[in-house]
Structure 1
Amino acid sequence: MTEFVLAVAGHRAARVHETARLLTAFTALEAVAVPVPPDPAGLTAAVRALAADAVFLTGTDRDQARATQLALAGEVSVLTEEDTLAIAIAAAVRVALHRRDRTPADARVLIAGPSAAPLLVPVLVAAGTADIMLWHPADAAAFPLTRVARDVDVVVDLLGGHDPGPGPAVVTPGDPVAPLLALPGLLRAGLPAADLQAHLDVHAACAHALASLTPIDRLLPDPGDPDLATRVADAVAETQRR
């Protein structure tokens, strides 16, 4: 994939450059950093004008990124950090459940701070998670996290610093590489049309692929795993065939 040029675009220049550096270091992608002005009306136009095979949006407003992704569907492949972060966390949840001899269908998952990753709940549902609880910091006075987490299998702490107490496994967003793990495979396979359910099914398949490659001492695959992009691309292709 060395001939495939990925533009990493966003408003926060430092974040954009660091993401491009990580992608170049850990994948076969040629990642080019392209900071764009923080102009809500101009993000879609700026992305459309980029000379790249695909665009990864990071360090920008979530709503603007999603609007740009939808507006350019069919013109250029656009993925957002919200997409890939939800995939990575869903994969880590699956791994944590497996190690507790639980499946998504019979487990209870609690998400602390769900507004930090609003796509996560739909992806978990698409992956077959049957019982999801949501907890916000404003709930702490009446419903301390240690109390509501007593009967759950996994706590996803999206905000950090919230102690669920003993018992459940804890999943956090992880290091900056985590949201990039599924990206090369997704780009290799190609994105589905601008259909929400199709995207969610693809994201769930990517999460399953990441989980299947995770070593016993990690919650996510090694970013240097040579099978990573192929396994994700195959999972996406199979989902699209179905």
Structure 2
Amino acid sequence: MTNNHDGGASGPPSDGGPVLTGISVAVVAVSTAGSKHAEHTAGSARTRPPWVAMEDYAALIRENTPMRALCLPVTTGDPHVLAERILGLPTGVSAVFVVGLGHRESASVAREVTERGGPVVLTELDVLTAAVAAATITTLRRRSVPPRAGRVVVTGASWAPLLAPVLIASGVGDLSSWYERDAEAFPLRRLMEHNDVLVDLAGCAPEGAAPGRTVAVPADGFVYGALVLPGLLAALCGHGVRTLTVEVVAACVRALALITPADQVLPSAGDRLLVSAVARHVSRALGHPVPYRDQW
């Protein structure tokens, strides 16, 4: 095994792991008449329309894994209809990645598909959650604050319900939620005098509230999502995994944080260790053979 600066997470595995060639992933983009120009990524207007993001994620999967990526654009956000479309996909589809759907609707779709024996359903919000959590860990590290001692404030936490449990699973010791309705009683600037990192999901933090220690979601979610998705899919597919757990997302966080250079918040999209590191950490969390090699 090669020892790299990711804690040995990207060296070739001791066994071949499952063969991913021939496995398919469906990328589903939801863009309704009312959402094409009103999609939101946390507190910012979405800059990459869902159908464009679908094509870009599909290309990302093809370029970074041996899996086939199928595109499925839909014009309804109805969870039951979406679940039916997913359940009607070819049997070779091992995972479905959904773009352009809110967290409540996404949870409904995933629940119905799982209950009916369909493929694992992932969303763009899931991979964004992993990247934001990793950026939080690296921001603490850059301030020489161990995660267990870290105090993190999250604005608009309801936008990403998985973030809090993932941060806790990643070792963050103190987590607080803040909403704009709290501004009068607990001004954000004053609150940040006693906390280490601000995760501004709502995009409502006043300028200078936490300079140099604010983590935000980019308006173009693809920028963060692309760091996580290929490695995550490489680890999940081919094992019959049906649900995405907090532990799996936390494994993505560990991988990203470990390979992030000291002068960056997250690794670069072109980092040669990226996909294999995420795949290895997720596989370890699942107790599965590692599927990813530096050369397929």
1:115 aligns with 2:134: no
Q: 1:190 aligns with which of 236, 239, 247?
A: 236
Q: CA deviation at 1:168?
A: 6.4
1:6 aligns with 2:25: yes
| Cα 1:89/1:166, change in 2 over 3 Å | closer
Relative contact order: is structure 1 or structure 2 higher (C-alpha 8 Å, sep ≥ 6)? 2
Q: Structure 2: how far apart are the matches of 1:136 and 1:161?
A: 9
| Cα 1:183/1:166, change in 2 over 3 Å | closer
Give the percent of matched residue pairs that are identical in Structure 1 and Structure 2: 36
Tell whether the 8 Å contact from 2:131 to 2:228 is kept in structure 1 after alignment.
Answer: yes
1:42 aligns with 2:86: no
- What is the TM-score when the length of structure 2 is the normalising length? 0.73
Q: CA deviation at 1:119?
A: 1.0
| Secondary structure at 2:64 match in 1 | coil
| Secondary structure at 1:155 match in 2 | strand
Q: CA deviation at 1:67?
A: 2.2
Unaligned runs of 5+ in 2: 1-19, 37-48, 289-296
Which has a greater percent of helix? 1
Q: CA deviation at 1:59?
A: 0.2
1:147 aligns with 2:186: no
Q: 1:72 aligns with which of 103, 107, 113?
A: 113
Equivalence for 2:64: 28
Q: CA deviation at 1:70?
A: 2.8
- What is the TM-score when the length of structure 1 is the normalising length? 0.88
Tell whether the 8 Å contact from 2:198 to 2:210 is kept in structure 1 after alignment.
Answer: no
| Secondary structure at 1:181 match in 2 | helix
Structure with larger Rg: 2
Tell whether the 8 Å contact from 1:16 to 1:33 is kept in structure 2 after alignment.
Answer: no
Q: Structure 2: how far apart are the matches of 1:184 and 1:5?
A: 13
CA RMSD of aligned residues (A): 2.5
Tell whether the 8 Å contact from 1:5 to 1:32 is kept in structure 2 after alignment.
Answer: yes
Q: CA deviation at 1:10?
A: 3.1
Q: 1:205 aligns with which of 251, 255, 270?
A: 251
Q: CA deviation at 1:152?
A: 0.7
Tell whether the 8 Å contact from 2:79 to 2:108 is kept in structure 1 after alignment.
Answer: no
| Cα 1:55/1:86, change in 2 over 3 Å | same
Equivalence for 2:132: 89
Q: Structure 2: how far apart are the matches of 1:75 and 1:182?
A: 22
| Cα 1:111/1:236, change in 2 over 3 Å | same
